[in-house]
Structure 1
């Protein structure tokens, strides 16, 4: 009886638990399908390159003319950055290549070799999609989303019969 209640021995790795939590949070946020487009970046016995999937930090500002978005994406250059706008959905993704000193190989079995950033936003109505501008500088992506010109609202008086 006593021996049946003892669980089999297993090793506990706290990093596995954190990775599972991160995966579940990414699924909850909705960026998981974007991050897993290609499964070629998984860490395999052959030593294939592994990318850590991250959701970049961001901040919004707004004034009368535009909405401004800043995202932290260190190590990503403008060539590896993808910004897609479909309807009111804005998707931003980019890949940071690993820094390898001269003479080292790209065999990254021990951990991640770089990062893949991905984030998706739902935009509201009233934005001028043709005039959106993006600038990448010092690891920060800055997007300017200009608003369309709207007519001023006015009160309409209701007359009785």
Structure 2
């Protein structure tokens, strides 16, 4: 049975908490089976090498959201169906990727939130390079590990504190 998506709207959250939220520039498309998702931020900074993405999403997610600064590269995919499937099995709420994914049809059928720039059929390199749990900035927003991120059809916003009673 597919888990239910959270019941919030980013537009309402921005209206209510405008002074305390950071709103991403509208660069991202929805690719996952869940368009509405939220959770604590885990960050990665890696360019055209998805080794850390794979390793991180193989760990227990506990409802967190992996936020990946892939440098906005449009030359390869940083997430595919096998890694996304691992994220679902491990309990991740979603992935925000400043880069590309592949296997979009399969990912669309998964109970996982996925926001990315585009799709690309080429896989990434595997060099084991990158950084984890560091502040990253893209789409006009700074993401800090432990922040809360809220995503839906209207966009992505980031907050240092929970904005909904059940979050």
TM-score of the aligned structures, taking structure 2 as reference length: 0.26
| Larger of the two Rg values belongs to structure | 1
TM-score of the aligned structures, taking structure 1 as reference length: 0.26
Structure number with greater CO (CA < 8 Å, separation at least 6) is 2
